[in-house]
Amino acid sequence: MSSWIFQVIIWAVLALAQLLLPLGLLRYGAKMRHLDRRTRYLTVIYGALTATWGISGALSIFAHRFPPTGEIAALLFDALAPTTAGQALVLERAFTQEKEDWSWSVAGWVWGAIVLILGAYSRLTGALPNVEQLLAAVGWIGLWSTLAFSWQRRHKQTEWAFRRNRALYWTWAAIWLVTGQALALFASRPLGALGLLLHLLGLTVITIAASRRYLPNVRAAIRGGLRFSILIVSLTVFFLFALWALSSFSQSPARAISSSPLAVLLAIVFAAAVALLYEPYRAFIIHVGQILIPRTGYHPEETLRQYSLAIGNIIDLDHLATVTLKTVNDTLEVQRAAVILVSEEERGICLRLLQGTGETSLGECPSTEILIDDDSPLIEHLAGGGKALFQHELAHETAFRNLVPRIREWLKDMGMEIYVPIFTQSTLLGILAVGPPRSGEPFSRQDQSFLSTLASQTGIALKNARMFADMRALNREITQLNEELQRAIKRAERLDRAKTDFLVIASHELRTPLTHVKGYADLLSELCNTRAVEREEIAGVVQSLAKGARQLETIVKAILDLSQIEEEKMVLYFAPTTLEAVMRMSLQSWLKPLRLRKIHLEIEGIDAIPPIVVDLQRLAQAFANLISNAIKYTPDGGKISIQARQVDAVHFKVSIIDTGIGIRPSDREIIFDKFFQTGDVNQHVSGTYRFMGGGPGLGLSIARGIIEAHGGRIWAVSEGYDETACPGSAFHVILPFEARREARRLVAPAGEEGDLPETKTSSSGAS
């Protein structure tokens, strides 16, 4: 058989093997769900492309026998070179589980088309000889150089140890691919067949790796290979030295007396010396190899024993998390780690990061708590088989494709490499989440076994700690309930006293105008009977009767208003107006008392508030009650300020600030309850504006009801209660510019830290 026919056969067989091997992977991978479909198909595409490239190279050997066929095949062989390099870039992205970039594949095809067109032009016209070979070489070198640069940059940026290891594995395969293609392109045809063989070996490595979920630790394999090489070389030198010494001994004068007992004895002594020196020499070489190329191992049995002793008496969740993470970090030297507590709630499964006494989580982690459904694939995997879960499985396994996006993002932000379930009695209590090792190497089987055992030991301690935490939480809850009960009892007692005081005050407030009415009615009757009635006397008596009737009407009206507010039957009529008009109506009845008691009134910012939509009469009534309250508890010569300002585009704020006696901290909320009175009820005196003057205790309750019906909020601020120092108090009101029925009521603020607190929807509102 001619040599060229033999070369064609070898090239054709090796070229077809480039396709048959990935096809076998595709058929095998279809039965294995864990294999990445994208990698399988891209490997087959790359194999088909390189097989076509190899067949065209085989046919190019016919150039001297069948020039047209050989020249076309040679041209196609050159054109497909950069195309295969561009497709290798896409395959590398899929192999390392990065997002593929098809632009390089397109670039390879475009470059190949250019090579094909210019090559055809060169062969038809005779111009630009061998231009296709030059362009093919430039494109092939450029694309493979781009692949090397891109790989190096992404390898440095990649944090996941799993991807870094796959990238290193790809590097070894890529060396075979590049070497093989270089020999096929630039060497002679016999060496080109060797290049196809090397390329087939590289493709075999990629194919085998694509069919496996876990790849061996490349860096550990390199270290082991180097240590083994040092050992083999050193032992080879040792035995060569022994053979040289034995050869020298056999050529010494002692050879003349080889038959003597002395020669036999010397031979035995030499053999014994070699045997005795072998084991110490071998141990020494192994020790030197470990110094030059150190192992990254540890003693899991001793570490787990120490950990078991450390957590034996821990009953605090935070302390347990701290000890666990410290053990993980000291042993595996990871970038981050966290202990996640798994608890069942009515809303679903709650995943919560424990807050330790030191650093509970190593590195930055997302929000410490998230809810997940009971039937989530994550929980089913961890609670079902109890096996560890890797981040790359979450990203690429079909079982986790239906994972909720917010859960997927939360896990991605965690930046963990492996999630190990913590069990006790078949119940999932927690998750030990461990990030990538600082060495950049993937977790070995020893590491995975260590983490599983560590999680198993943590389960019992975690159960005890959770029981202790539940008991402590229950104790706090009981204590809090007792405190709330005591406060409720005291509040009920105060309200009961307030109701009693109201009866006393109401009877006093009602008896006074009734006495006036009855007395003047009797006087009028007496005057009528004596027929000595003057016109002026009748006018005075009628005026006194009207005054008493108005006092009675005011009290009865306040009681009716409060009942409407409590039953949410107060009718409000919202209409456009201004805050200035509201305040003018509110102050109308109080200008004379302010003047008589020499209380200085300051108004600021009222006219700067834009037009509002409110119930003018009712809102004026609410502010009138607040102004009345400020007048009653401000001594003569004091000061009252009314300040208004816009909070945002929707709300404005009104503050009524006085220099009065102030409010006790314990009374800041209860002052808005009906019937509440400040001071001793036995010292009650009637009067609508007298200092410390009394009333039925309904004004602030009515004011709050009207303001909340407008969708607003009212609260009081004071440094304390002191009738001598008069620290003063401030009543703050926030209202919307446009009040509406079924308005959103504002939640009471936690102080003066913010003008506008959060809102919540109330079922009540103006009717």
What's the pLDDT tens digit per position in 130-165? 777 888 888 888 888 887 877 777 666 676 777 777
DSSP reduced 3-state for 658? strand
How far lies 229's CA from each of 285, 287, 668, in Å? 11, 14, 83
**Between 72 and 264, whose confidence is greater?**
72
Q: Distance between CA 457 and CA 314 in Å, rounded?
A: 12
Residue 398 lies in a domain: yes
Indicate whether 226 and 212 sit together in one domain.
no
- pLDDT at res. 758: 42
Distance of alpha carbon 537 from the chain centroid: 84
> For the packed helices 67-95 and 37-59, what is the interaxial angle rounded to 10 degrees?
160
pLDDT at 732: 94
Average of per-residue pLDDT values in the chain: 77
Distance CA 104, CA 147 (A): 9
Residue 190 sits in the same domain as residue 247: no
For range 352-364, the mean pLDDT:
60
Max mean pLDDT range (86-90, 171-175, 555-559, 581-585): 581-585
Pair (263, 315) in one structural domain: no
Measured between its terminal Cα atoms, the distance across the chain in Å is 107
Pairing of strands 713-718, 729-736: antiparallel
- The answer to which of 53-57, 329-333, 522-526 has the lowest mean pLDDT is 522-526
| Closest to 433 (Cα-Cα) out of 359, 325, 318 | 325
Of the given ranges (34-38, 158-162, 632-636, 751-755), which has the lowest mean pLDDT?
751-755
More confident residue, 345 or 324: 324
Among the ranges 239-248, 414-423, 650-659, 687-696, which has the highest mean pLDDT value? 650-659
| 8 Å CB contact between 220 and 37 | no
Residues 262 and 325 in one domain: no
The answer to whether residues 277 and 311 belong to one domain is: no
DSSP secondary structure string for all residues of 33-76: TTS-HHHHHHHHHHHHHHHHHHHHHHHGGGGGTSHHHHHHHHHH
Phi, psi of 571 (to 5 degrees): -90, 125
- Whether the per-residue pLDDT at 534 is higher than 70: the answer is no
Query: What's the confidence (pLDDT) of residue 73?
Result: 81
Please, what's the largest Cα pairwise distance for the chain? Answer: 178
- 766 pLDDT tier (thresholds 50, 70, 90): very low
Are 82 and 160 in contact, with CB atoms under 8 Å apart?
A: no
**What pLDDT score was predicted for residue 389?**
86
**Are residues 747 and 600 both part of a single domain?**
yes
Residue range 100-122, pLDDT digits in tens? 678 878 888 888 888 888 888 88
More confident residue, 677 or 86: 86
Token pair for 126: 């005779």
For the ranges 494-508, 537-551, 640-654, the lowest mean pLDDT is seen at 494-508
Q: How far apart are CA 50 and CA 11, in angstroms?
A: 12
Q: C-alpha distances in angstroms, 43 versus 37, 96, 111, 203, 633?
A: 10, 13, 21, 8, 88
Domain assignment of residue 491, yes or no? no
178 and 245 assigned to the same domain = no
Closest CA to 95 of 166, 188, 23: 166
In this structure, what token pair is assigned to residue 565?
Answer: 């507010």
pLDDT confidence of 338, banded at 50, 70, 90? confident
Residue 578 has pLDDT above 50, yes or no: yes
Q: Which two tokens stand for residue 524?
A: 């009028």
734: confidence class by pLDDT, cuts 50, 70, 90: very high
Quote the domain boundaries for residue 106.
Answer: 3-216
CATH number of the structural domain spanning residue 383: 3.30.450.40
271 or 121, which is more confident? 121
Question: What was the pLDDT predicted at 767?
Answer: 27
Question: Do both 188 and 277 map to the same domain?
Answer: no
Residue 56: is its pLDDT beyond 80? yes
Mean pLDDT value across residues 462-468: 83
pLDDT in the model for residue 651:
92
Q: How many CA atoms lie within 13 A of 755 on its CB side?
A: 15
- Total number of domains constituting the chain: 4
> Percent of the chain scored above 90 by pLDDT?
10
Asked whether the beta carbons of 673 and 495 are under 8 A apart, the reply is yes
CATH number at residue 676: 3.30.565.10
Predicted local confidence at residue 256, as pLDDT = 44
Answer yes or no: do 238 and 197 share one domain: no
DSSP letters spanning 199-233: HHHHHHHHHHHHT-SS---HHHHHHHHHHHHHHHH
Establish if 535 belongs to a structural domain. Answer: no
Q: Are 358 and 339 spatial neighbours (Cβ–Cβ below 8 Å)? A: no
Check pLDDT > 90 for residue 482: no
Say if 711 falls within a structural domain.
yes
Predicted local distance difference test score (pLDDT) of residue 683: 45
Closest among 422, 407, 397 to 375, alpha carbons compared: 407
597-614: pLDDT as tens digits: 899 999 999 999 999 999
Note whether residue 524 is domain-resident: no
Q: Which of 239, 264, 292 is the last residue of a domain?
A: 292
Residue 305 in this model has a pLDDT that exceeds 80: yes
Domain boundary among 232, 266, 292: 292
For residue 609, being part of any structural domain is answered with: yes
Sheet holding 337-345, edge to edge: 369-372, 348-353, 337-345, 427-434, 418-424, 389-390
Judge whether 517 lies within some domain: no
**Residue 558 neighbours by CB distance under 10 Å:** 20
Beta-ladder partners of 652? 646, 735
Residues 411 and 328 in one domain: yes
In the predicted model, what is the mean pLDDT of residues 673-686?
57
What pLDDT was estimated at residue 711?
87
Stated pTM of the model: 0.53
Q: Does pLDDT of 742 surpass 60? A: no
Q: Residue 764: which pLDDT band, with cuts at 50, 70 and 90?
A: very low
What's the rounded mean pLDDT across residues 191-199?
85
CATH number reported for the structural domain that contains residue 34 in this entry:
1.20.1070.10
Question: Could you give the CA distance from residue 520 to residue 543 in angstroms, rounded to a whole number?
Answer: 10
pLDDT for res 645 = 93
Q: Residue range 289-297: average pLDDT?
A: 64
The pLDDT assigned to 504 comes to: 55
Q: How far is the C-alpha of 313 from the C-alpha of 310, rounded, in Å? A: 7
| Measured distance CA(112)–CA(124) in Å, rounded | 18
Helices 161-186/131-157 angle, 10° precision = 170
Band the pLDDT of 381: cuts 50, 70, 90: confident
- In a shared domain, residues 12 and 146: yes
Give the end of a domain, one of 264, 292, 320: 292
pLDDT at 88 over 60: yes
Give the per-residue pLDDT at 681: 47
Asked if residue 304 is part of any domain, the answer here is: yes
Tens of pLDDT, residue by residue over 505-516, are 555 555 566 666
CA 354 to chain centre: 14
Q: What is the pLDDT of residue 657?
A: 94
Euclidean distance between CA atoms 663 and 680, whole angstroms: 15
Based on the domain organization, do 267 and 367 belong to the same domain?
A: no
